[in-house]
C-alpha cells in the first residue's frame, strides 16, 4: 500500500530538494555583489540560508500561503531567480475613486494553498476571492540586482516622471504611491517603496509568516483564522532572520549580461532608435548607501520604475494610489535572458511575443519594431536575449 | 502494533524535507541566530494610511495601511475634539475623503479606535503629479 503524499509534505520535500541543488553561481546569477566586505558576504551567506529555509505549519507556515520558503518560488536557475509560481491579486475600483485592495477581505494577494489544519477547520483549499474583484495574475520575478534598484534615489524616479506628457512624445510615466503616500517602486505596479518592506511583506503574504513589523496573522477572506489553527507564537520569523534575508536580497548581484557580438550591438542601436529606451532606461545610478557596493553605481536597469499605460489588452487591476488597471511599472530587463515566461502574468512565451503584446504608450515602439526588417528584428531580439 | 506490523517511529515527509533543507543551508555555509521575540507594542498609537471612505453621519472612517502587500483596514471613530489639520492649518471634515493620505493618532478603547488627531499628509490631487 502506498501512503498518499500530503500536499504540504510534497511541497516541502520539493523545496528541500531544491535547496540541495545549488548554492549560487550558475551564469553569474545568484552571486553576491562585488565589493562587499567580509562581514557583508557573511550576512549574504546567512541570509541565503534563511531565504532557503523551509517552513512548515509547526514553524509558522500559513495557515494561508503560496510557498513554503522564499526559494520555493524564486529558484530558476538558482536561488533568487524567477520561478513557475503565479500569484493571484485582486482589487476593486470603488465608485469614490479609491482602488480598494480588499484588505478587509484578505486582499490584495489571495493565497492559493492552505495548511491541513485550516482545510480541516474550514474545508477550503485556497483563500476565497470576492466575486466582484478584478483579478491580476503575477509571475514570480527574479530579484537579482534589486538592491541596486532600491538604492536609486527617489529624486531620480521623480525626475523621469512626465505625468501629463509635457514633452509630447506620447509617453507619460507616473509615480505610484503606497498607502502612506511614499513613492513606490517594487512590484509589477510599483506599489512598495522599499526592498526591505517588499521582503517583509513577502514573508507574511507568501508564506503566512508573521514578522516583527507585521505581528498579526492574515485573515481568511477577512475573517480571523479559527482558534488553534496556527498556534505558533508571533513573530514566527525573528528580527534577525528578517534582517539577514534583507541583507541577502539587497546584495544579490545583477546577472551579468552576455557579451554583445556585432548583431547584438546592431540590435542595441535599434532598441534605442525605435524608442524602447524611453521607458526601459538602459542605466540608472544609485545614490549614497551604507553598503559601499551599492553606492553611487551606474548599472544596467532597463527601467524607469514608473507606471505607463500599456493599453486595454494587458489591463487587469488597479493598485496603490495611482496605478490604473492598464498601468504597469516598466519591467526591469535585468536577467531577461533567464526568464521563461514574459509580461506580468506570463502570457507571453517569448521575448518577441512580449514585445508584440505591448500596447498603449508602447504601441509606437511596438509598431516601429514591426516595421523593422526581419534582420533588424532578429538583431534586436538577439540583443534582448543577452540581458 | 498496527495491522500486525510492529510500531516504528515514522519519519514524515515534512520532517524529511526540513532536514534536507537544513543540510542544503549548511552546505551553502548558512546559519543564523534567532533573536528573542520583541515585547508587546507599548508605543504611541500612530498610523499613516489612505482613507478608503468617510461617513459623515457616523463620523467614522476606514483607513488602509500596512507593509507592502500585507495590508489591513482599520476603522476609526472621530469624537467631538478630534483635531484635523492639513499643512499646519485646521482642516474641515470634508477633507477626509477617499484617496487622502492621513496620519492618525488614536487610542484603542472598548468602543473601537478613537482618533484624537488627524493630519492630512497628501490629498487626492497630490497623486496626479510627481
Residue A1 in any domain: the answer is no
A233 lies in the same domain as A334:
no
The answer to whether A13 contacts B65, with C-beta atoms less than 8 Å apart, is: no
A182 lies in the same domain as A57:
yes
**What is the crossing angle of helices A7-21 and B13-27, to 10°?**
20
Q: Residue A345's domain spans which residues?
A: 262-384
Handedness of CA A43, A45, A48, A50 (dihedral sign): negative
Tally of helices (H runs) and strands (E runs) in chain A: 11, 10
Q: How do residues B68-107 score in pLDDT, each as one tens digit?
A: 999 999 999 999 999 999 988 998 888 889 999 999 999 9
Residue A285 in any domain: the answer is yes
If one counts the domains in chain B, the total is: 1
Q: Give B52-82 as a 3 state SS string.
A: EEEECCCCEEEEEEEECCEEEEEEEEEEEEE
pLDDT above 70 coverage of chain A, percent: 93
A173 lies in the same domain as A282:
no
What is the pLDDT, as a whole number, of residue B130?
36
Q: CATH number of the domain that B95 lies in?
A: 2.40.50.320
If one counts the domains in chain A, the total is: 2
Q: How do residues A373-384 score in pLDDT, each as one tens digit?
A: 999 999 999 999
What is the pLDDT, as a whole number, of residue B1?
33
A220 lies in the same domain as A303:
no
The answer to whether A12 contacts B14, with C-beta atoms less than 8 Å apart, is: yes
Q: How do residues A245-274 score in pLDDT, each as one tens digit?
A: 999 999 999 999 999 999 999 999 999 999
A282 lies in the same domain as A229:
no
Residue A2 in any domain: the answer is no
| Residues 10-39 (A) with a CB less than 8 A from some CB of B | 10, 12-17, 19-21, 23-24
More confident residue, A313 or B26: A313
CA distance A317 to A141: 18
Q: How do residues A325-366 score in pLDDT, each as one tens digit?
A: 999 999 999 999 999 999 999 999 999 999 999 999 999 999
Q: Residue B98's domain spans which residues?
A: 46-127
Residue A257 in any domain: the answer is no
Residue B8 in any domain: the answer is no
A140 lies in the same domain as A18:
yes
Q: How do residues B5-35 score in pLDDT, each as one tens digit?
A: 333 344 444 444 444 443 333 333 333 333 3
A58 lies in the same domain as A169:
yes
Q: Is B24 on the interface with A (CB under 8 A)?
A: yes
Residues of B in contact with A138 (CB under 8 A): none
ipTM, 2 dp: 0.90
What is the pLDDT, as a whole number, of residue A59?
97
Residue B97 in any domain: the answer is yes
A333 lies in the same domain as A279:
yes
* Whether pLDDT at A25 is above 90: no
CA distance A195 to B10: 41
Best of A32, A80, A96, A110 to disrupt the B interface (most B CBs within 10 Å) is A96
Q: Which of A225, A250, A275 is the last residue of a domain?
A: A250
* Whether pLDDT at A200 is above 80: yes
Q: CATH number of the domain that A360 lies in?
A: 1.10.760.10
Best of A7, A10, A98, A317 to disrupt the B interface (most B CBs within 10 Å) is A98
Amino acid at each position: 500500500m502506498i501512503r498518499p503524499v500530503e500536499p504540504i509534505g510534497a511541497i516541502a520535500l520539493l523545496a528541500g530538494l531544491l535547496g540541495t541543488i545549488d548554492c549560487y553561481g550558475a551564469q553569474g546569477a545568484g552571486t553576491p555583489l562585488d565589493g562587499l566586505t567580509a562581514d557583508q558576504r557573511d550576512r549574504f551567506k546567512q541570509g541565503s540560508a534563511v531565504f532557503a529555509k523551509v517552513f512548515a505549519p509547526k514553524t509558522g507556515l500559513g495557515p494561508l500561503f503560496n510557498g513554503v520558503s522564499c526559494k520555493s518560488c524564486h529558484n530558476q536557475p538558482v536561488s533568487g531567480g524567477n520561478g513557475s509560481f503565479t500569484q493571484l491579486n485582486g482589487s476593486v475600483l470603488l465608485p469614490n475613486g479609491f482602488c480598494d485592495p480588499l484588505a478587509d477581505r484578505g486582499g490584495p494577494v489571495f493565497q492559493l494553498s492552505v495548511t491541513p489544519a485550516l482545510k480541516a477547520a474550514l474545508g477550503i483549499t485556497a483563500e476565497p476571492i470576492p466575486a466582484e474583484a478584478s483579478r491580476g495574475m503575477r509571475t514570480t520575478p527574479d530579484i537579482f540586482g534589486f538592491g541596486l534598484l532600491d538604492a536609486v534615489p527617489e529624486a531620480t524616479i521623480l525626475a523621469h516622471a512626465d505625468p501629463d506628457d509635457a514633452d509630447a512624445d506620447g509617453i507619460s510615466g507616473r509615480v505610484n504611491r503606497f498607502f502612506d503616500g511614499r513613492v513606490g517602486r517594487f512590484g509589477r505596479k510599483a506599489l512598495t517603496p522599499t526592498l526591505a518592506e517588499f521582503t517583509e511583506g513577502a514573508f507574511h503574504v507568501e508564506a503566512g509568516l508573521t514578522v516583527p513589523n507585521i505581528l498579526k496573522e492574515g485573515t481568511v477572506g477577512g475573517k480571523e483564522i479559527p482558534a488553534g489553527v496556527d498556534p505558533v507564537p508571533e513573530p514566527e520569523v525573528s528580527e534577525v532572520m528578517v534582517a539577514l534575508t534583507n541583507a541577502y536580497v539587497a546584495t544579490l548581484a545583477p546577472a551579468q549580461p552576455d557579451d554583445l557580438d556585432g548583431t547584438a550591438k546592431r540590435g542595441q542601436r535599434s532598441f534605442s532608435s525605435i524608442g524602447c529606451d524611453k521607458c526601459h532606461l538602459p542605466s540608472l545610478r544609485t545614490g549614497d548607501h551604507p553598503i559601499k557596493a551599492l553606492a553611487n553605481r551606474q548599472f544596467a536597469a532597463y527601467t524607469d520604475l514608473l507606471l505607463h499605460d500599456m493599453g486595454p489588452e494587458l489591463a487587469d487591476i488597479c493598485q496603490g494610489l495611482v496605478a490604473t488597471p492598464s498601468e504597469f511599472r516598466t519591467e526591469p530587463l535585468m536577467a531577461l535572458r533567464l526568464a521563461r515566461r514574459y509580461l506580468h502574468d506570463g502570457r507571453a512565451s517569448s521575448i518577441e511575443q512580449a514585445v508584440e503584446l505591448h500596447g498603449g504608450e508602447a504601441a509606437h515602439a511596438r509598431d516601429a519594431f514591426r516595421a523593422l526588417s526581419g534582420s533588424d528584428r532578429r538583431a534586436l531580439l538577439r540583443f534582448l536575449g543577452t540581458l | 502494533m498496527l495491522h500486525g506490523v510492529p510500531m516504528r517511529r515514522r519519519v514524515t515527509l515534512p520532517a524529511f524535507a526540513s532536514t534536507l533543507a537544513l543540510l542544503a543551508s549548511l552546505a551553502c555555509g548558512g546559519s543564523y541566530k534567532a533573536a528573542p521575540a520583541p515585547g508587546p507594542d507599548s508605543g504611541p498609537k500612530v498610523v499613516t494610511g489612505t482613507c478608503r471612505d468617510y461617513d459623515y453621519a457616523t463620523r467614522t472612517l476606514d483607513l488602509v495601511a500596512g507593509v507592502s502587500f500585507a495590508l489591513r483596514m482599520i476603522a476609526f471613530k472621530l469624537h467631538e475634539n478630534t483635531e484635523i489639520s492639513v499643512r499646519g492649518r485646521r482642516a474641515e471634515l470634508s477633507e477626509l475623503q477617499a484617496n487622502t493620505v492621513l496620519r492618525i493618532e488614536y487610542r484603542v478603547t472598548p468602543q473601537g479606535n478613537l482618533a484624537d488627531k488627524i493630519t492630512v499628509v497628501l490629498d487626492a490631487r497630490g497623486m496626479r503629479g510627481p
